[in-house]
Structure 1
Amino acid sequence: MSERPLVLGIVGDSAAGKSTLAAGIASVLGRHRVAVVCGDDYLRYDRRERALRRLTALDPECNHLAILEQHLELLRAGRPILKPVYDHRAGTLVRPEYLEPRPYVVVEGLLAFHSRAMRECCDIKIYLEPEEELRRRWKLARDTARRGYGREQVLRQLERQRRDAATHVRPQRVFADIVISFYPPDDDPEEAGTRLHVRHLLRPTLPHPDLSPILDGNPKSGIRLELARDIDGKPVDVLEISGDIPEARARRVEDLLWSLIPEASYLRGNVGTFEGGGRTVSHPLALTQLLIAYHMIKAAQGVVAN
């Protein structure tokens, strides 16, 4: 195993699912073994100050990115940090907390790949790119339920963030090892939960697991792997997992992935859950979490792409 913490970076637009994915991966690997760093905690201004300055949280000028960069370097070196904390419900900066390094560090945020130094701290880099209308629905639901915003406030915020997302967030996509996109089925465009499909663009910068034992070419199997081209024209493997994947097939895929990471098999009951009116399980989310956990464990063991 690696003698230093293994760092996973997760980047995506506001409400792209970063915190949900980070929490799920921490559950897979064991919360006592994972230190999670939220990029929002490094905001330079609170909600009121951002409004007065006409800044969004997506603007690098609105964030203490140099401090985040330094903290990632310290955690990667096995040293503790005094981490700032942002209270989303109140929109204020509150008392910092002492965070010790653990075997795994997950940093999730809007700008976690913004600088070369931050990218070099990350052993594995994930970019979340949900279908845009789905992301907007997620943001409306989250910000009105848990962050103290009204519906009209969220809609105005979405419009204000549009330019900064294009300028500062989306360009980080190019640095990711895996690009993950959740999207609704054609027959239910309003779906936002368990029936969402997921698409993984698997770039050759990581040694991806051999899934051939469970890929039979059946279009109704709920999972397929094919060669495609990324938006830059480069060839990539694309893994598609249907929200309607049959239960038995999903279990076969999970069994295969767990067999490849036996170190974490005792935690297998914790994957695929999200907030949705109770303990809700999504097979595409569970398999996404497992695939990333696989990469983290293998990277900690020194397994790299050929």
Structure 2
Amino acid sequence: MPHKLIRMQRGRHQAGPGRPTMLAIAGDSAAGKTTLSKGLANPLGPERVTRICVDDYHRYDRQERKNLPFTALHPECNYVEIMEQHLQLLATGQPILKPVYDHDTGQLARPELVEPREFVIVEGLLPLHSRLTRACFDITVYLDPPEDIRRQWKIKRDTQKRGYGVEQVHAELERREPESAAFIRPQRAVADLVARFAPVAGRYDPPGTPLSAELMLRPTIRHPDLRRILAESDQRALHLSLARDEDGLPVDALHVHGYVPREESRVVQKAIWSRLGLEGGEPVEMLGDLGNGDRSEALAITQLVLLYHLLTAAR
């Protein structure tokens, strides 16, 4: 189905029974996509959320890719047409038989039946690659950590969880770089929200200080009225500024400070939740989980903003 038709079809039916709310989280390898998506699914509840990874649409397993002239980041290494078809089906409330790629073993596994629930969260390398895939989503996010930080995350993950050596990871990063620039990073330009987790520029915090977040809130969707909320909150935790996008156009940027004490950040999170007029109890305790008992207040507030978008789109 052409991308304009899928937009028209979804536009005729508001999110709800038979028409899920669709969120895409795009980014390079080890950019934090799974951490972000898990943190969104937990407070919504497993009975309301379907999560999929479009990296499952790899054409080749890890062993086969060693002899190919391109990497897993290249569209030729993925069944993009099937991914487009499946996203359309999910976006219109229909089940799919999704392929499965096992990241731990690098092998292709048995396909699985996936049925869309109220919310569908899609993460991966290429969910915003084409106009057709983008037309399937209500909200789109691109994760854009500084490259040196992302490489540290990838080395840690691939050596601890996927059996690689440090030199192997470095070599793979260099091999992937041209395709990352050609196919992954261009998705940043088409996302509704760009999230960047990094130290605050020009601020010299001691080692171990949690990363802060900068959220670029593009006017392609309606974002929460944060100015009124922030006027009543502690400005040490977060603030808005007017920034310049890559194309030079002005855009709102939300700065979430990771160095703020947890107690202050949680007060702000509760204030945001209550002033957004959303139903249900505060999900503060479920947000910001980095795993292994670690927590990020900047991640928690980022997830809170995305929860706002998911719940208001569904409502």
Q: Is TM > 0.5 for Structure 1 vs Structure 2?
A: yes
Verify the 8 A CA contact 2:233 2:268 in the aligned structure 1: no
Cα 1:227–1:266 shift into 2, 3 Å? closer
Aligned residue in 2 for 1:59: 74
Is the aligned partner of 1:284 residue 2:298? yes
- Segments of 5+ residues of structure 1 without an aligned counterpart are 302-306
Q: Following the alignment from structure 1 to structure 2, what is the Cα–Cα distance between the partners of residues 45 and 14?
A: 17
Instruction: Give 1:254-293 correspondences, 5 Å limit.
Output: 254-259=269-274, 260=276, 262-265=278-281, 267-275=283-291, 278-293=292-307
> What is the one-letter code of the residue matched to 1:187?
Y
TM-score norm. by structure 2 comes to: 0.89
Whether the 8 Å CA contact 2:216–2:253 is kept in 1: the answer is yes
C-alpha distance in structure 1 between counterparts of 2:161 and 2:312, whole Å: 35
The alignment covers a number of residue pairs equal to 297
Q: What secondary structure, in the 3-state scheme, does the structure 2 residue paired with 1:101 have?
A: coil
| Distance in 1, Cα, partners of 2:89 & 2:186 | 26
Specify the SS of the correspondent of 1:265. Answer: coil
One of 164, 182, 186 as aligned partner of 1:149: 164
Aligned to 2:227: 212
Q: Distance in 1 between matches of 2:182 and 2:277?
A: 38
Q: Percent identity?
A: 50
Distance (whole Å) between structure 2 residues aligned to residue 271 and residue 212 of structure 1? 22
Q: What is the alpha-carbon distance in structure 1 between the residues aligned to residue 233 and residue 286 of structure 2? A: 29
Matching of residue 134 in structure 1 with residue 154 in structure 2: no
TM-score by length of structure 1 reads 0.92
Which amino acid letter does the alignment assign opposite residue 204 of structure 2?
A: D
CA distance in 1, matches of 2:229, 2:268: 7
Matched, 1:88 2:68: no
CA–CA separation in structure 2 for the residues paired with 1:121 and 1:190? 42
1:295 aligns with 2:279: no
SS in 1 for 2:298: helix
* Stretches of structure 2 lacking an aligned partner (at least 5 in a row): 1-13
Report the aligned-residue RMSD: 2.0
The 8 Å contact of residues 217 and 224 in structure 1, kept in 2 or not, is answered as no
Give 2:185's match in structure 1, choosing from 128, 149, 170: 170
Show the 5 A alignment for 1:1-306: 2-3=15-16, 4-185=19-200, 186-187=203-204, 191=208, 195-216=210-231, 221-259=236-274, 260=276, 262-265=278-281, 267-275=283-291, 278-301=292-315
